[in-house]
Amino acid sequence: MSIESAEEKLEDAMEYYKNVRECLTGLYNIIKLNLPEKDIFHQVGMDNLMNLNNNVLEILRSSFSPREVRMRVREIEFDEKETEEVFPL
């Protein structure tokens, strides 16, 4: 595997991760708007969303260099802060 194709695969994977983050944010907003914070379904839903995000990150780290994944996630977080989008999980 060439360096370029590995880099392209990582770039594609991070693009998919951005899409997952957007979906998780949407689900977070739905739960937040429709269920009171003290409701067990609110709490369980939030826990599941956080676990899903963590599992996706672990899959990325096991498939690519953990350092590269960490750096790319930081870039995504920085871009979100610049556009004032906050990933809630």
pLDDT by residue for the chain (89 residues), tens only, comes to 566 688 899 999 999 999 999 999 999 999 999 999 999 999 999 999 999 999 999 999 999 999 999 999 999 888 888 887 777 87
20: in domain: yes
Give 84's DSSP letter.
T
6: in domain: no
Tell me what pLDDT residue 71 has: 92
Tell me what pLDDT residue 58 has: 94
Q: How buried is residue 69: exposed, middle or buried, by Cβ count under 10 Å (0-12/13-18/19+)? A: buried
Alpha helices in 1-89 (DSSP H): 3-34, 40-63, 66-82
Tell me what pLDDT residue 2 has: 62
61: in domain: yes
47: in domain: yes
Domain hosting 73: range is: 14-30+38-82
Query: Do 34 and 9 contact (CB within 8 A), yes or no?
Result: no
Domain count, the chain: 1
Tell me what pLDDT residue 80 has: 83
**pTM check: above 0.85:** no
8: in domain: no
